[in-house]
Amino acid sequence: MKFGSSILVTGIALFNAVRGDAVPWERLNKNDSMLLVLDLQVGLFQTARDWDPTLYRENILAHAELGKLFNLPVVMTTSAETGPNGPLPKEILEMYPDAPLIKRQGEVDAWDNAKFREAIKATGKKQIIIAGITTDVCTAFLALSLRAEGYSVFANIEASGTYSELVRDTANSRMQQAGVQLVSMFSIVCDLMRDWRNTPGAKEVLPYLDRYLPVYGFIARGHAAAIDNGTLIDGEAGLI
């Protein structure tokens, strides 16, 4: 029995090693990245039931604003927006009044739309940051198509949504097996920034995090308040 278990453990380790070698770790490079806003439409918003709706609204706006923060090329697309899916939120449209907006009339996988393919290729970028509604259809279908075309795909797991956690987890697993990088918003920000002393760096990134990731933004607020106040209360000095 122990011998059989050892074989199983060894087999799993080898399988994981092969998978790791098949898709080597890759860092985001702001000079070779673009941002994709995919079907984050007001009508589809209510299908993202794997998130608290108030939090999810902030997540999709945070995803969209990455383009402004890091000066990335942005391509937007919608699916049947004149029907129940509706348009993109006005906040996103106002961020990028001049960015390509491909209004697909029927294609489920955005890659099947010729104008969309042309818009992506026109950016000249090979790393694509993606998020959409729903995770299992809009995000996964396009992410897999992009991987098949040789692009590096970074799926913002906080800005895609679908109707159940089971469906989300299954879709994420499917994408990961195809070499899609599953990343958080904070991970994307830090990888694009690389160094707090860069530009964009602390001066530009901390206000963004204060808006969209208050658990980190309030660290900066606390530090700023302590420096501004300039005093210690009894018992604090021994803690640092």
Q: What is the mean pLDDT of residues 150-176?
A: 98
pLDDT at 17 over 50: no
Flag whether the pTM goes above 0.85. Answer: yes
Per domain, the residue ranges of the chain are 33-193, 195-229
For the cut 50, the answer to whether the pLDDT of residue 98 exceeds it is yes
Report strand pairing: 127-132 vs 101-104: unpaired
How far is the CA of 1 from the CAs of 5, 10, 150, 210, in angstroms? Answer: 6, 14, 44, 54
**Which has more pLDDT, 197 or 13?**
197
Mean pLDDT (whole number) for 105-127: 98
Active site residues: 138
| pLDDT at 6 > cutoff 60 | no
pLDDT of 9 over the 70 cut: no
Residue 20 has what pLDDT?
45
Q: What is the mean pLDDT of residues 4-19?
A: 52
pLDDT band, residue 168 (cuts 50/70/90)? very high
Q: Which of 39-43, 133-137, 224-228 has the lowest average pLDDT?
A: 224-228
Please check whether residue 42 is in contact with residue 87, taking contact to mean a CB–CB distance below 8 angstroms.
yes
Distance CA 17, CA 22 (A): 9
Topology given in CATH for the domain delimited by 33-193: Rossmann fold (3.40.50)
Q: Which comes out higher in pLDDT, residue 5 or 130?
A: 130
User: What would the mean pLDDT of 1-18 be, rounded to a whole number?
Assistant: 52
pLDDT of 18 > 50? The answer is no
Q: What pLDDT, on a 0 to 100 scale, did the predictor assign at position 230?
A: 84
- Residue 160 CA to residue 39 CA, distance in Å, equals 10
Q: Give the model's pLDDT for residue 11.
A: 55
Q: What is the pLDDT of residues 50-83, one digit of tens each?
A: 999 999 999 999 999 999 999 999 999 999 999 9
> Mean pLDDT in the chain?
92
> Has residue 140 got a pLDDT over 80?
yes
End-to-end CA distance of the chain: 53
Q: Which residue has the tokens 């990343």?
A: 183
Residue-wise pLDDT tens digits, 121-130: 999 999 999 9
* Cβ–Cβ < 8 Å for 220, 206: yes
pLDDT in tens, 188-219: 999 999 999 999 999 999 999 999 999 999 99
On the CB side of 223, CA atoms within 13 Å amount to 7
For residue 226, pLDDT beyond 90: no
Residue 10 confidence (pLDDT) above 70:
no
